[in-house]
Structure 1
Amino acid sequence: MKTLVLVRHAKSAWGDPTLADHDRPLNERGRRDAPEMARRLRDRGVVPDAVRASTALRARTTAEAMIAELDLPGQSLVLDERLYGAGPDLILGVVGELGEEVGTAMVVAHDPGMSDLAYRLSGEIEHMPTCAVAEFRFAVWSWSEVVEADAVEVHFDTPR
């Protein structure tokens, strides 16, 4: 079994119009929601072996807050610039590169790619609000098989 956890980055701040999109930080709600969503994962027994996140500040900060709450080692996080603005196929491509030793993987990235992928994998989740978590379990041996597999279990949670 492989478990894929998709996380849309937490709520970001729009207060500084001089910042590039890539450099927008989390706002207060985002800084509160990220650890809360990690606690919910942990309480359900879902703890990733590997985390991949967009290099955008809001995605990186979301991932770091969740990793800290889950008490994971810092090296479990790998920033991947391909995840910034990535569509479903590219996100799945990044996931497909994971090693077989990884049983549970978390990807922290952006919309519309995250919502599109969540819908593709579930047929039900149409929109992932900020800091939403969509979890998919697959009866496969390899991450590369996830592209063609149907999820045997889906769990969806939002901060609100």
Structure 2
Amino acid sequence: MKTLYLVRHAKSSWDNANMSDFDRPLNSRGEKAAPLMAQKMLKASVVPDLIITSPAKRALSTAEVFSDMLDYPVERIEQRMEIYEGGIQHMLKLVQEIDDSCNTVLLFGHNPNLTIFTHFLTSKHIQNVATCGIVKILMPHEHWNETMMDSGNFQWYDYPKKQ
């Protein structure tokens, strides 16, 4: 059995209108929410075998906070541009290509793709995965390449304001 955590990046800053979307950093609310949610995963004894993230600054920064809290080497965080640029078919292909030696994977990305991908994998309707929201999905198979529409079992969804 495999476990996939879909994590939306923490709240980002819109202070600089001239900054590209890709380069937007976390704002103060995001800097507080990321450790709060990472702590929740630590308390749940989550030990990631792999962390994959969009390379956009806000997603990478969020992934780095989780990496630090969960004692995952930051240099092993895998950055994948298709999480930032592509749709759910790109995300599906990415998940299907995960090495089977990895049983617990955290994937950091953006909306609307994370919300759509949650529904695609589990048929669970979530209106909107909130910033720094986490969706836990169990994959009842031994191989990541068996991941497809409706192949995951929704476990829970949590987000900072729920705390």
Q: TM-score, normalised by structure 1?
A: 0.94
The alignment partner of 1:106 has SS state of strand
Give the Cα–Cα distance (whole angstroms) in 2 for the partners of residues 150 and 83 of structure 1: 20
Aligned partner of 2:152 in structure 1 is: 151
Give the Cα–Cα distance (whole angstroms) in 1 for the partners of residues 40 and 86 of structure 2: 26
Aligned partner of 1:33 in structure 2 is: 33
The alignment partner of 1:58 has SS state of helix
The alignment partner of 2:91 has SS state of helix
For 1:42-121, list aligned pairs within 5 A: 42-121=42-121
Query: Structure 2 counterpart of 1:65, which letter?
Result: V
- Residue deviations 1:118-157 (CA, integer Å, cap 9, x gap): 1222323231010000010111011111224532351110
Q: How much does 1:82 deviate?
A: 1.0
Query: Structure 2 counterpart of 1:152, which letter?
Result: N
- Residue deviations 1:61-105 (CA, integer Å, cap 9, x gap): 010011011111123311111110432221121111111110011
Give the Cα–Cα distance (whole angstroms) in 2 for the partners of residues 28 and 63 of structure 1: 16
What is the total number of aligned residue pairs between the two structures?
160
Q: How much does 1:35 deviate?
A: 1.4
Aligned partner of 2:3 in structure 1 is: 3
- Residue deviations 1:5-49 (CA, integer Å, cap 9, x gap): 000110000000110000000001111111111111121122211
Moved over 4 A (4+): none
Gaps of 5+ in 1: none
User: Which deviates further from its counterpart, 5-14 or 84-93?
Assistant: 84-93
The alignment partner of 1:136 has SS state of strand
The alignment partner of 2:52 has SS state of strand
Aligned partner of 2:14 in structure 1 is: 14
Identity of aligned residues (%): 34
Give the Cα–Cα distance (whole angstroms) in 2 for the partners of residues 85 and 127 of structure 1: 19
Give the Cα–Cα distance (whole angstroms) in 2 for the partners of residues 24 and 152 of structure 1: 33
Are the counterparts in 1 of residues 46 and 70 from structure 2 also a CA contact under 8 Å? no
Give the Cα–Cα distance (whole angstroms) in 2 for the partners of residues 65 and 16 of structure 1: 23
What do you get for the CA RMSD once the two structures are aligned?
A: 1.3
